[in-house]
Structures are given as structure tokens and as C-alpha cells.
């Protein structure tokens, strides 16, 4: 459980985080989402006691991070995978962290195995690729077998196999009843991992919602129809209050049959403000043959951009003045 | 690499919970110090150069002793001569001490360290203590070996010192104490300045270079500097012969320790307050 109350962080005249309040619950993966420079990392740094908030407070398990008696046992964090000293062997890096919290040496070998770095345990960290460094960072976060996991862009630099592994790791940790906070600027990544979303832009909270709600509320539904009687159906739908466009765009997410001439197919229409069931019923009632009836969702990426557009626009206007 | 091996939250494991202690942080800093190659090389340099330089200077000055003026013969300090290598050893200690913490800033490791140990004062204290202890041991080894090697080389050419002579044992042990105090100063300066190059340059300048420059000043300026400049005052603990315008060994070392304490307090305050 991580709780923030009215967090504010100012660097000189720049407001990085502005009156942020949230609570992050255990048993689920909470995605921390926002465009670059939105204040995600600053917020995480305040949670971890690296930066002192200008105003407000944040607690982990009811205590401020600096007051935790065994920090690594309670919170595992990965902020910057490259924040290691290159001259030190991977195993020694983990060992010095383990020692600082009285974690036994055997756990070091265990986490090296978990992240798949046991073969390079004796290599110095400066020779590590970004992907290996991420794994080492995740290993250090897991050392204390913590109840709270905080990961800042953990899939950066990982290969598809690694990305899948991190997702599985986060899901497993959450299923185990732990609190998992993961930041990203990629909605598509969050969509596959997070149960709950915290969206910030320009340091302000834009949305605090479950993933399902977010998908429902921000998705633009439209229906892609292919029919030899498309013109007739279009008239019927308009009469029923829907908006109909010529199907000059093939549905990006469902276009297996769209050939090169899809853009000009007169048989394809796109209907909004009416769901696929209603379109289907309407067609059946009037004996219209349908070849394709596909509900289309705006991608989550688009929904996210829609949601954060205000903060980005504000930024642009502010710069222009 | 499977998800299944991650969960290890049996009740046994949770029961093993205990608060992290200062001893844990000491062990952590010891691992940090011994696990980078620069430590080994810097300390080897300290020992080898400290002993070798002491030996060379002992041999050369002892051979020249016969041609010394009366005044020079009166101030002949065979112990101090054999300890001359401490002057070069302190360079390695300053570099290593500043780097011990400032390299964590340049690499970003400091954030990982402070997340692991959010009670920041402990990090500075543990670093200082571990490095001072290692420096003390290395310093004592260097000083004692240099003393006996030096006296063997001096013997037969000039009056030599024995470890049982008044003030001699204190001076030899003092070499290690002086280096240990310098070690704490270097770690504190590294924490204060955070940039390796700036930290090394400033510490070298304050500890070693400025007192030398002061030698070029007129007496009215030079004498107080020689007497009270922290590292000058502190180094009195390494000499047996008491020259004019210098503090007694222990008060002199006290002045140095006071200065180290002030720099340490500044470093502690800033480390605690600054965003990492």
C-alpha cells in the first residue's frame, strides 16, 4: 500500500509534481502512465525518499520510506538500471545491497538465478547490455523478497522474451498479494500488464481508474461493415441516428481481407454511435446481406493520447507564450 | 527464470524479518570497498611507495649525515626520515577516499545505495569508518615496515632510532592515525563535493598543496599556517623532533581531528538534506 497526500515537488520555478494524491493497493499491478516529463520518476523518487517533497507526504505501508526499519524487505525498487558501478561484479553489486539490509548471501544467488544472470554473475557490470542491466536491477529489487515492488520503465532495453518475463513477474507478484507499481510512457505495454491505471500529465493526476473502466470510457467504438447493399444500410443507420462514413479506411486492427483497393471499396462503410449488435439487427430486419460486421475500438494508445492531450497542449501553449 | 521461483513468501521467511542495523551497513560498505579493483591498486601503491620512498630517503640522508651542519644534526629525526613515505601514501588515500563516495554519484549508484539505506547518515558513517579502518591497518603496516627498514639503512651512517626511544612508538603509530584521519576527511569531502575530479582536486589542495605554498610566504604568515593548518598540525604526530612554530603531537592531531569533524558534519548535513 502506497499512499500520497497532496504531493508537490518544485525545482526552482518548475513544478514537476503538482498536488498528487493517490493510493496504490496490494494484489494488483498499478500502471503509472504519462508522457515523458510528466513527473513519474520524480513521484517514484519521492516515494523512495530520494527527493523530499516540497509539500505533502507519501507513505509506504503507513510509514515514510526513511522510517522503514528494513527498507529492502518492504520495498524493492528499480529506478535506473544503469545506476551501478561498472567496476563491480554483478554478484558483488547484489551482495553489498543484500548486506546493507541483513539479507543472507544465499538470496543473492537465488535472485541471480531468478533473473537468469547466474552465468554472468562474476562479470563486471560495465560490460552489461541494457537488457542485462535491467535484469540486474530487477534482481536487486527482488533481493529482500519485498511486499511492494516499484519499477520505473522496467522493460526498457529488454528483448521480447525479457519483456514477457517481466510481465509474468509483475503478474505473479501481484497475484501473490503484493503491491506492484510500474511506470511506462507506452499505453500498449500497460494494457498487457496493469489492472489499475494512474495517469499523470504535467505533474497532475489525470486519471485514477481500473484498466477495464479506462478501456470502456475512452474507447471510441465504431463498426466496420462490408455488404453488397452498403448504401441501403447506410441510409437506414443514418435514419436511426448513427453516423456513417464511407469505408475509405480499412480497420487497422481487423483488416485481413482488406486488399490494396480497400480504400475505394464502395461496399465498405464505417458506422459510429451504434454498436455492432444494433447494426446487425437493423440489417437482418431489412434483409440486408452482411459479409463483414466488425466492432472496432480505437487503440489504447489513441485513447491515452486523447486523455493526455490537454496536458500536452497546455505545455505547447505555455511554450508559445 | 520462471515466475514460480519468485514467490518465497512463506511464513518462515517473513518471520526472519529484522530491522537493518549499522553493522549491516558496515558490512555492505566493506563489500563495496573490496569489490572494485582501484582499492587494491591504490592500497598496494600506498604500501609499496610508502616503504620504498622511506627506504630511499633514509639511505640517502643517512649517507649525507656526515656533511650536515651542526643545526641540521641537532634536528636529525631518524624516525621522521624513515616515515617520509607517508607523504606519498597520503596521495593514494585522498584519491581513494574521495572516489569511494563520489564515484557513486558519478555512476548513479548512490541512489541505489540510499534506497537500500534511507537513513543516509549511516551510509556516510559506515563508509568513513570502513575506509578509515582499512587505511589505519594499511598505514600501520607501511609505517612499521618503513621504520624498521629505514633504521636498518640508517644504521652505521647516522644515529638511528629504536622503537623504545621516547616518542618513537607514538610517531610510528601516529603515521597510521594521521592517514586514518585523512581518510575520513577524504570521504567527507567526496560526499560534500560529489564530483570525483572536484573532490580530489580540492582535498589535495587543502590538505597537501596549500601548506606547501605557504612555505613561500613571509614568516609572519608562514608560522601560523605551519602551526595550525589542519594537516600540518596533524602531521606532528608522526615526528619525534619538535621544530619551532609547531604544535605538540597530540594537540596538533587534535586540531586536525577537529577540522575533519567540521567537514564531516557539513557533509552529513548536506547528504541528509539534498535530493539524491
CATH number for the domain running over A2-217: 3.40.50.300
Give B6→chain A minimum CA distance, Å.
7
Q: What is the pLDDT of residue A96?
A: 97
Q: What residues are paired with A196 via a beta bridge?
A: A30, A210
Task: Read off the pLDDT of each residue in A271-298 and give the average, rounded to a whole number.
Answer: 88
User: How large a percentage of chain B has pLDDT more than 70?
Assistant: 94
* C-alpha distances out from residue A292 to A41, A209, A259, A311, Å: 45, 34, 14, 39
Report the C-alpha gap between B184 and B176 in whole angstroms.
13
Strand order in the sheet with A268-272: A243-246, A268-272, A221-226, A292-297
Q: What is the maximum alpha-carbon separation in chain B?
A: 83
Identify the bridge partners of residue A292 per DSSP, sorted by sequence position: A226
Dihedral pair phi/psi, residue A26, rounded to 5° = -75, 165
pLDDT at A185: 82
Taking an 8 Å cut-off on Cβ atoms, the answer to whether A95 and B35 are in contact is yes
Please determine, for residue A259, whether its predicted confidence score (pLDDT) is greater than 80. no
List chain A residues with CB under 8 Å of B25: 100
CA distance B39 to chain A (A): 11
Contact list in B for residue A78 (CB cut-off 8 A) is none
Size of interface A-B (CB pairs under 8 A): 125
Region B183-207: mean pLDDT is 96
Contact B115 A49 (CB under 8 A): yes
Whether the CB of B20 is below 8 Å from some CB of chain A: the reply is yes
CA distance A250 to A133: 41
Confidence (pLDDT) at B3: 41
**How far apart, in whole angstroms, are the C-alpha atoms of residue B169 and residue B177?**
12
Q: Is the pLDDT of residue B12 over 60?
A: no
Q: Give the least confident one: A99-103, A166-170, A217-221.
A: A217-221
Q: Which of B28, B32, B118 sits opposite A71 (nearest CB)?
A: B118
Residue bearing the bigger pLDDT, A303 or A319: A303
B59: exposed, middle or buried (Cβ count in 10 Å: 0-12, 13-18, 19+): middle
Q: Kindly give the interhelix angle for B86-107 and B120-154, rounded to the nearest 10 degrees.
A: 160
Contact (CB<8Å) B27/A100: yes
CA-based nearest distance B180→chain A, Å:
23
Search chain B and give the residue with CA nearest A92: B35
CA distance A162 to A154: 10
Closest CA to A102 of B38, B159, B25, B98: B25
Task: Tell me the percentage of chain A whose pLDDT exceeds 90.
Answer: 64
| pTM strictly above 0.90 | no
Residues of chain A contacting residue B109, judged by C-beta atoms under 8 Å apart? 83-85
- Which pairing describes strands A75-78 and A148-152: parallel, antiparallel, or unpaired? parallel
Residues B262 and B185: their CA atoms lie apart, in Å, by 9
Average pLDDT on B227-250 reads 88
Q: Searching chain A, which residue's CA lies closest to the CA of residue B1?
A: A114
* Interface contact A83-B18, CB threshold 8 A: no
Nearest CA in chain A to B108: A83
Q: What is the pLDDT of residue A242?
A: 87
Question: What nine digits make up the cell of B32?
Answer: 563495496
Nearest chain A Cα to B115, which residue? A48
pLDDT confidence band for B146 (50 / 70 / 90): very high
**Interchain CB distance below 8 Å, A49 and B24:** no
For residue A173, name the pLDDT band (cuts at 50, 70, 90).
Answer: very high
The mean per-residue pLDDT over the stretch A217-238 comes to 85
Contact B21 A102 (CB under 8 A): yes
Using only the alpha carbons of chain A, give its radius of gyration. 25
Tell me the pairing of strands A292-297 and A221-226: antiparallel
Model pLDDT, residue B21: 94
Q: Give the chain A residue nearest B112 (alpha carbons).
A: A83
- Cβ distance of A99 and B117 shorter than 8 Å: no
Which of B4, B9, B18, B20 to mutate to test binding with chain A, by most A CBs within 10 Å of its CB?
B20
- CB-based contact, B269 to chain A, within 8 Å: no
CATH number for the A221-297 domain, one of 1.10.3470, 2.40.50, 3.30.70, 3.40.50? 3.30.70
Given a contact cutoff of 8 angstroms between Cβ atoms, the answer to whether B77 and B241 are in contact is yes
A-chain CB neighbours of B116 within 8 Å are 71-72, 97, 100-101
The residue of chain A with its CA nearest to that of B123 is: A100
The model's pLDDT over A1-10, given as tens digits with 9 standing for 90+, comes to 999 999 999 9
Identify the residue among A100, A106, A132, A145 best suited for mutation to test binding to B, counting B beta carbons within 10 A and taking the highest. A100
Put simply, whether B116 touches A (Cβ < 8 Å) is yes
% of chain B beyond a pLDDT of 90? 72
Comparing A42 with A317, the larger pLDDT belongs to: A42
Query: Which residue among B1, B107, B115 places its CB closest to the CB of A86?
Result: B107
Distance CA A46, CA A44 (A): 5
- Kindly indicate the confidence band of residue A189, based on its pLDDT and cuts at 50, 70 and 90: confident
CB contact under 8 A, A79 and B29: no
Extents of the domains making up chain A: 2-217, 221-297
| Cα–Cα distance measured from residue B87 to residue B49, given in angstroms and rounded to the nearest whole number | 10
Chain A CB within 8 Å of residue B111 CB: yes
* Model confidence at A321: pLDDT above 60: no
CB contact under 8 A, A70 and B18: yes
The answer to whether the Cβ–Cβ distance between A69 and B7 falls below 8 Å is: no
Q: Judging by beta carbons within 10 Å of its beta carbon (0-12, 13-18, 19+), is residue B91 exposed, middle or buried?
A: middle
Cell numbers at B76, concatenated: 636529525
Predicted pLDDT at B5:
45
pLDDT of residue B242: 80
β partners of residue A184: A33
> What mean pLDDT, rounded, does chain B reach?
90
Rounded CA-CA distance B55/B78 in Å is 11
| Calpha distance B25→B20 (Å, rounded) | 8
pLDDT tens digits for range A12-50: 889 999 999 999 999 999 999 988 888 999 999 999 999
Q: A77: which chain B residues are within 8 Å (Cβ-Cβ)?
A: 115
Confidence grade of residue A256 (pLDDT, cut at 50, 70, 90): very low
Lowest mean pLDDT among A80-84, A201-205, B111-115, B212-216: B212-216
> Using CA atoms, how far apart are residues A143 and A103, in angstroms rounded to an integer?
8
| CA B224 vs CA B37, B228, B232: distances in Å | 41, 6, 10
Q: pLDDT tier at B170 (50, 70, 90 boundaries)?
A: very high
The confidence band for A264, taking pLDDT boundaries of 50, 70 and 90, is low
pLDDT tops 50 at residue B58:
yes
Amino acid at each position: 500500500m502506497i499512499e500520497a497526500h497532496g504531493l508537490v515537488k518544485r525545482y526552482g520555478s518548475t513544478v514537476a509534481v503538482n498536488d498528487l494524491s493517490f493510493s496504490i493497493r496490494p494484489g494488483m499491478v498499478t500502471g503509472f502512465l504519462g508522457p515523458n516529463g510528466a513527473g513519474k520518476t520524480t513521484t517514484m523518487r519521492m516515494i523512495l525518499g530520494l527527493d523530499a517533497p516540497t509539500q505533502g507526504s507519501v507513505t509506504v505501508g503507513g510509514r515514510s520510506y526513511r522510517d522503514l526499519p528494513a527498507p529492502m524487505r518492504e520495498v524493492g525498487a528499480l529506478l535506473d538500471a544503469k545506476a551501478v558501478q561498472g567496476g563491480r561484479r554483478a554478484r558483488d553489486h547484489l551482495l553489498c545491497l543484500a548486506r546493507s539490509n541483513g539479507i543472507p548471501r544465499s538470496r543473492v544467488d537465488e535472485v541471480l538465478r531468478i533473473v537468469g544472470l547466474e552465468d554472468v554473475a562474476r562479470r563486471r557490470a560495465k560490460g552489461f547490455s541494457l537488457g542485462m542491466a535491467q535484469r540486474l536491477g530487477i534482481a536487486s529489487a527482488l533481493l529482500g523478497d519485498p511486499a511492494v515492488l516499484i519499477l520505473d520503465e522496467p522493460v526498457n532495453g529488454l528483448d521480447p522474451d525479457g519483456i514477457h518475463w517481466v510481465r509474468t513477474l509483475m503478474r505473479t507478484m501481484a497475484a501473490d498479494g503484493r503491491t506492484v507499481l510500474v511506470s511506462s510512457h507506452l499505453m500498449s505495454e500497460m494494457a498487457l500488464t496493469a489492472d489499475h491505471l494512474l495517469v499523470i500529465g504535467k505533474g497532475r493526476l489525470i486519471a485514477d481508474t481500473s484498466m477495464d473502466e479506462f478501456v470502456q470510457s475512452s474507447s471510441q467504438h465504431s463498426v466496420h461493415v462490408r455488404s453488397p447493399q452498403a448504401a441501403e444500410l447506410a441510409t437506414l443507420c443514418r435514419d436511426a441516428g448513427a453516423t456513417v462514413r464511407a469505408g475509405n479506411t480499412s480497420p487497422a486492427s481487423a483488416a485481413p481481407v482488406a486488399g490494396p483497393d480497400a480504400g475505394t471499396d464502395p461496399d465498405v462503410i464505417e458506422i459510429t454511435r451504434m454498436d455492432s449488435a444494433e447494426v446487425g439487427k437493423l440489417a437482418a430486419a431489412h434483409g440486408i446481406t452482411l459479409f463483414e460486421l466488425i466492432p472496432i475500438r480505437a487503440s489504447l494508445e489513441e485513447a491515452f493520447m486523447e486523455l493526455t492531450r490537454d496536458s500536452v497542449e497546455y505545455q505547447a501553449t505555455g511554450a508559445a507564450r | 527464470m520462471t515466475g514460480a521461483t519468485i514467490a518465497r513468501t512463506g511464513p518462515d521467511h517473513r518471520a526472519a524479518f529484522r530491522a537493518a542495523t549499522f553493522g549491516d551497513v558496515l558490512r555492505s560498505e566493506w563489500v563495496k570497498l573490496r569489490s572494485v579493483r582501484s582499492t587494491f591498486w591504490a592500497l598496494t601503491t600506498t604500501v609499496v611507495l610508502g616503504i620504498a620512498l622511506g627506504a630511499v630517503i633514509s639511505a640517502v640522508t643517512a649517507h649525507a649525515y656526515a656533511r650536515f651542519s651542526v643545526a641540521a644534526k641537532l634536528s636529525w629525526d631518524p624516525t621522521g626520515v624513515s616515515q617520509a613515505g607517508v607523504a606519498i601514501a597520503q596521495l593514494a588515500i585522498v584519491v581513494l577516499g574521495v572516489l569511494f563516495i563520489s564515484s557513486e554519484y558519478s555512476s548513479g549508484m548512490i541512489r541505489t545505495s540510499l534506497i537500500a539505506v534511507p537513513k543516509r547518515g549511516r551510509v556516510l558513517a559506515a563508509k568513513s569508518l570502513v575506509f578509515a579502518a582499512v587505511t589505519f591497518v594499511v598505514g600501520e603496516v607501511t609505517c612499521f615496515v618503513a621504520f624498521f627498514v629505514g633504521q636498518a639503512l640508517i644504521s652505521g651512517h647516522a644515529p638511528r632510532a629504536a622503537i623504545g626511544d621516547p616518542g618513537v612508538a607514538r610517531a610510528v603509530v601516529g603515521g597510521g592515525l594521521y592517514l586514518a584521519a585523512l581518510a575520513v576527511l577524504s570521504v567527507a569531502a567526496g560526499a560534500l563535493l560529489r564530483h570525483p575530479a572536484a573532490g580530489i582536486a580540492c582535498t589535495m589542495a587543502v590538505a597537501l598543496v596549500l601548506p606547501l605554498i605557504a612555505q613561500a610566504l613571509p614568516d609572519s604568515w608562514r608560522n601560523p599556517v605551519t602551526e595550525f593548518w589542519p594537516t600540518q598540525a596533524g602531521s606532528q604526530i608522526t615526528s619525534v623532533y619538535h621544530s619551532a612554530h609547531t604544535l605538540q603531537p597530540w594537540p596538533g592531531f587534535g586540531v586536525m581531528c577537529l577540522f575533519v569533524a567540521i567537514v564531516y558534519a557539513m557533509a552529513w548535513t548536506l547528504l541528509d538534506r539534498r535530493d539524491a
